[in-house]
Amino acid sequence: MPQPRQASVSAAAGYEWRLFAETEAHLYRRALLAPDLYWPPMLLAWCEEVRQDPLGHERTAIGAERIAAPSAAIRCARCGGLLRDANAAARGEGVRGGQA
């Protein structure tokens, strides 16, 4: 009997939604969001990590609370696309290059 294919952990597991500038939600690396971690002073949203000239966000501009499921009105489309692609890749499906 064939073994079920082992699903790998999605890269998205390392990110969580936070509100930036109280207007839009982006995905940030969990490891860099720890409140007792003072370095780096600027955080990159996932959508910025993949850009050639990424723009950092000041920590003080990023909301303190994780957002479980941001509404479409505030959710960054590029971060959402990266999330979907990472989850698809973890399931062994093809990716679409981070497009929303």
Helix (H, G, I), strand (E, B) or coil at 16: strand
Cα–Cα nearest to 18, from 69, 83, 66: 66
Residues forming the site for Zn ion (CB under 5 A): 26, 45, 47, 76, 79
Nearer to Zn ion, 49 or 90 (CB): 49
| Cα–Cα distance for residue pair 14/41, rounded to 1 Å | 19
Nearest distance, CB of residue 26 and Zn ion, angstroms: 4
Nearer to Zn ion, 7 or 77 (CB): 77
Nearer to Zn ion, 79 or 86 (CB): 79
User: Which residue type is seen at 41?
Assistant: P
